[in-house]
A and B are shown apart, each in its own frame.
Chain A
Amino acid sequence: MPAKIAEIIEASTGEFMAQCYELHQPPPFGSLVKTREGEIEIYGVVCEATTTSIEPGRRPIARGREEAEEEDIFRSSPQLAKLLRTDFSALVVGHKENERLYHYLPPRPAKIHSFVYLCDAEEVEKFSRSFDFLSILVASKGQADELIAACLRHAAQAHPDPRAFLVKAGKELAVLLAGEVSRLDTILRRIKG
């Protein structure tokens, strides 16, 4: 099991939000993360990351006027790291039960305070052998096209032949986005490398 990177602070069937243990170090946009709910491992694709003040009402103020480097701000005010937080959201794209992968939503959402792990290349490769999860991303709100492109670029790195993987994924998208020529075009331009 790789090292944990975050802890769930909000969860629903289709999405979860987690707070990172390290400030300013969320997992990359589009990368695959997982968490555990009893016997079930839940997979998610990182779809958004934010860094804010820990208290919603208090916004950070600018502190760097006297400092030469940006790092110096944190060095001279070490309490700052404790007053800020980095959160990220992930779209649930599948789960694993009894060593079997399912590319659809799990029966239950993750529990609050579950640990979140970043999947390693091997796991990403295994998960992305099937493209069934793409339909979840295609239907997601927000910057779905950016997310799909980022996710595929990320997953391609885990495959021995990234181009062949992307062509296959592209064909899958061509079918999913049959009536949406311009969306397909946008995504393909973002993954052609």
Chain B
Amino acid sequence: MRRETLHNEKGRRLGIVVSGSLSKGVEVKLDSTTSVEDIAVGRYVTIEGEKGRFLGMITDVALDAIDPRLMMMPPEVSDPFIAEVLAGTSIFGRMHVRPELALGGDAFSLLEGPQQVKTVPVHFSVVKEASEQDVERVFGRVEEKQFWIGTPLDMEIKVRLNPTEFVKRSNGVFGKSGTGKTFLARLLLIGMIQENAAANLVFDMHSEYGWEGKSEEGRKVKGLKQLFPSKVAVFTLDEESARRRKVSTDFVVEVGYDEIEPEDIEMLSETLNLTEASAQATYRLARHFGERQWLESFLAMEGREEINELAKGLGEHEATLAALRRRLEALRRLRFLVPHARDNAIQRILDYLDRGINVILEFGRYEDITAYVLVANLLTRRIHAQYRERMERAMGEDIAKPKPLVITIEEAHKFLNPDISNQTIFGTIAREMRKYNVTLLVIDQRPSGIDEEVMSQIGTKITCLLDNERDIESVLTGVSGKSELKAVLSKLETKQQALIFGHAVPMPVVVRTREYGSPQSYKELGFREAIELKKEAEKEMEDLWG
């Protein structure tokens, strides 16, 4: 009932603009009829300027008094009469509004749609609660079968996130643990699959995207393969785990020692605790034994003497090699590493991606970061090389470009931290690879661990609640109106709320993420039960044969 009155066609009047600037946003004095307690950061308001209307977001709420002495000698507000008189006159609420878009009133702007704000509304412009129509005009009406991510605060309209725009740049999902990052990432993947915007390759560390996942409450939710059986393939590194969980996998990935290059080991420096010298020694080993045999040969060495001799031959320190040997022993625990892989996983993945089938690589029991970093790096580097080659050929020969590829990685700070982001393939992709139609979807709970330069290249950021100051800073790097968004970001609910800003949305928006996990939600996302599918098929047969 209340919602209806708040968001009728006109919108309730809240106050008037009293000061402000384009760079810092405007100050609004609340009317005496508006209680500060009804105002919440993250909501939208419209400002009726002289020449046009502005749509803005509330980023702060404050109390103020006309005379500072009132704070020292509070009036007798226990008397309802005095309280009523003073409210809105001697004491009043203020809010800070960040104008986001100009909604012109003339025919031209109706055609052009909302424009970037280049000025501020005149003094004492009336500020009203934004109506659903206004907000819908900005985000666009969501047609059937189009993907939407959630609803703005206190509104019933759907916020569209255009997957085709979304995949043009690298994107990030951030939030501290337990705030719904996985849910959001799953939704985004569904959106891309639903609208066929990109081929996805997901490095699924905790095996929660492909088949069944669990909600925070422990409820089972469907994975992508269950929703889109014909568009998703599940690859696994751990067949046993997949079998135990009754997941139908499409391919079991093995990685041969002969596929591991010194660069791959260098990426593991941090997780394997390698010294700079040890990491560098791998290159000499590769030269010595040959690119394809070095790791297997090195691991096959038994005994001190043998290693000492090798060290002499290479001009390395013995202790360095011995330490490297000890550390690399950890790789032996990874069962998916074999001397020589039976099948070429990279080619398989590419085949699937080429056919428009999205690949989710489950790690099964290998949830430790070493396996994740190793495999993600190794596969991505080669897949990316292929994509690059194809893209260059497409440009040279004027043939169709390959379909955009989105690579999803979790624990992104392990790949993109300032120490190694210059060297990893993920750093390269984040920085420049949209030219080659490859972008990243990074999922992380510690964005402050990610290289600043990479962060600034991230097109659309979707962040759930973050409470660490450094993480908030880092997510907002390079965003205009940083301090204002900061207030909004740190006040998000712990669940089902996210702030989205950047390339794919016309203005920052706080959304209540759409529900996922009920039969109705699956249906809305295009899922059909087997019975339904059968019925449809039968009907089609009937139509065909009469």
CB atoms of B85 and A167 under 8 A apart: yes
Q: Mark B70-108, 1 if CB is under 8 A from A, else 0.
A: 100101100101101110111000000000000000000
Q: How far is the CA of A178 from the CA of B66 in the complex (A)?
A: 6
Can you add 10 more A-B contacts, CB < 8 Å, to A178-B67, A178-B90, A193-B81?
A167-B81, A170-B81, A170-B84, A171-B89, A175-B89, A178-B66, A181-B69, A181-B73, A184-B90, A192-B82
Question: What's the minimum C-beta distance from B466 to chain A, rounded to whole angstroms?
Answer: 42
CB atoms of A179 and B81 under 8 A apart: no
CB atoms of B89 and A179 under 8 A apart: no
Cβ contacts under 8 Å, A166 to chain B: 81
CB atoms of A185 and B85 under 8 A apart: no
- Is A163 interfacial (CB 8 A cutoff)? yes
Q: How far is the CA of A185 from the CA of B77 in the complex (A)?
A: 11
Cβ contacts under 8 Å, B75 to chain A: 181, 184-185, 188
Q: How far is the CA of A192 from the CA of B79 in the complex (A)?
A: 9
Cβ contacts under 8 Å, B69 to chain A: 181
CB contact between A188 and one of B67, B73, B85 (< 8 Å): that residue: B85
Of chain B, the residue at the smallest CB distance from A179 is B67
Question: Which of B70, B79, B84 has the largest number of chain A CB atoms within 10 A?
Answer: B84
CB atoms of B90 and A174 under 8 A apart: yes
- Is B474 interfacial (CB 8 A cutoff)? no
Instruction: Please tell me the size bucket of the interface on B.
Output: 10 to 19
Cβ contacts under 8 Å, B131 to chain A: none
Q: How far is the CA of A167 from the CA of B76 in the complex (A)?
A: 15
Q: Mark A59-78, 1 if CB is under 8 A from B, else 0.
A: 00000000000000000000
A-B contact pairs, 22 of them (CB 8 A): A163-B81, A166-B81, A167-B81, A167-B84, A167-B85, A170-B81, A171-B89, A174-B66, A174-B85, A174-B86, A174-B89, A174-B90, A178-B67, A178-B90, A181-B69, A181-B70, A181-B75, A182-B73, A184-B90, A185-B75, A188-B81, A188-B85
- Is B32 interfacial (CB 8 A cutoff)? yes
CB contact between B32 and one of A163, A171, A189 (< 8 Å): that residue: A171
CB atoms of B76 and A185 under 8 A apart: yes
Of chain A, the residue at the smallest CB distance from B69 is A181
Question: What's the minimum C-beta distance from B39 to chain A, rounded to whole angstroms?
Answer: 21
Question: What's the minimum C-beta distance from A156 to chain B, rounded to whole angstroms?
Answer: 12
Q: How far is the CA of A163 from the CA of B80 in the complex (A)?
A: 11
Per CB-CB distance, the 8 closest pairs between chain A and chain B, nearest first, are A170-B85, A174-B89, A192-B81, A174-B90, A171-B89, A178-B66, A181-B69, A188-B82
Question: What's the minimum C-beta distance from B67 to chain A, rounded to whole angstroms?
Answer: 5
Cβ contacts under 8 Å, A184 to chain B: 75, 90
- Interface SS majority for chain A: helix
Q: How far is the CA of A156 from the CA of B402 in the complex (A)?
A: 80
Q: How far is the CA of A167 from the CA of B88 in the complex (A)?
A: 12
Chain A residues within CB distance 8 Å of chain B? 163, 166-167, 170-171, 173-175, 178-179, 181-182, 184-185, 188-189, 192-193
Cβ contacts under 8 Å, A167 to chain B: 81, 84-85
Question: What's the minimum C-beta distance from B34 to chain A, rounded to whole angstroms?
Answer: 14
Q: How far is the CA of A62 from the CA of B75 in the complex (A)?
A: 47
Q: How far is the CA of A167 from the CA of B90 in the complex (A)?
A: 13
Q: How far is the CA of A171 from the CA of B73 in the complex (A)?
A: 19
Q: How far is the CA of A185 from the CA of B75 in the complex (A)?
A: 7
Cβ contacts under 8 Å, A173 to chain B: 85
Q: How far is the CA of A192 from the CA of B80 in the complex (A)?
A: 9
Question: What's the minimum C-beta distance from B38 to chain A, rounded to whole angstroms?
Answer: 20
Cβ contacts under 8 Å, A179 to chain B: 67
Question: Which of B32, B70, B76, B89 has the largest number of chain A CB atoms within 10 A?
Answer: B89
Cβ contacts under 8 Å, A193 to chain B: 81
Question: Which of A173, A179, A192, A193 has the largest number of chain B CB atoms within 10 A?
Answer: A192
Cβ contacts under 8 Å, B70 to chain A: 181
Q: How far is the CA of A179 from the CA of B70 in the complex (A)?
A: 10
Cβ contacts under 8 Å, A175 to chain B: 89
Cβ contacts under 8 Å, B81 to chain A: 163, 166-167, 170, 188, 192-193
Of chain B, the residue at the smallest CB distance from A177 is B90
Cβ contacts under 8 Å, B66 to chain A: 174, 178
Question: What's the minimum C-beta distance from B465 to chain A, rounded to whole angstroms?
Answer: 40
Q: How far is the CA of A178 from the CA of B79 in the complex (A)?
A: 20
Q: How far is the CA of A98 from the CA of B74 in the complex (A)?
A: 46
Of chain B, the residue at the smallest CB distance from A193 is B81
Cβ contacts under 8 Å, A185 to chain B: 75-76, 82
Question: What's the minimum C-beta distance from A33 to chain B, rounded to whole angstroms?
Answer: 27
Of chain B, the residue at the smallest CB distance from A174 is B89
Q: How far is the CA of A174 from the CA of B88 in the complex (A)?
A: 10
Question: What's the minimum C-beta distance from A160 to chain B, rounded to whole angstroms?
Answer: 18
Q: How far is the CA of A103 from the CA of B90 in the complex (A)?
A: 24
In the complex with contacts A171-B32, A171-B88, A171-B89, A181-B82 CB distance below 8 A: no
Of chain A, the residue at the smallest CB distance from B65 is A181
Of chain A, the residue at the smallest CB distance from B86 is A174
Of chain B, the residue at the smallest CB distance from A185 is B75
Question: What's the minimum C-beta distance from B25 to chain A, rounded to whole angstroms?
Answer: 26
Q: How far is the CA of A178 from the CA of B89 in the complex (A)?
A: 9
Of chain A, the residue at the smallest CB distance from B85 is A170
Cβ contacts under 8 Å, A178 to chain B: 66-67, 90
Q: How far is the CA of A181 from the CA of B89 in the complex (A)?
A: 12
Cβ contacts under 8 Å, B82 to chain A: 170, 185, 188-189, 192
In the complex with contacts A171-B89, A178-B90, A189-B76 CB distance below 8 A: yes
Q: How far is the CA of A174 from the CA of B70 in the complex (A)?
A: 12
Q: How far is the CA of A181 from the CA of B82 in the complex (A)?
A: 12
Q: How far is the CA of A173 from the CA of B85 in the complex (A)?
A: 9
Cβ contacts under 8 Å, B76 to chain A: 185, 189
Question: What's the minimum C-beta distance from B15 to chain A, rounded to whole angstroms?
Answer: 15
Question: What's the minimum C-beta distance from B267 to chain A, rounded to whole angstroms?
Answer: 66
Of chain A, the residue at the smallest CB distance from B87 is A171
CB atoms of A171 and B85 under 8 A apart: yes
Cβ contacts under 8 Å, A192 to chain B: 79, 81-82
Q: How far is the CA of A193 from the CA of B84 in the complex (A)?
A: 14
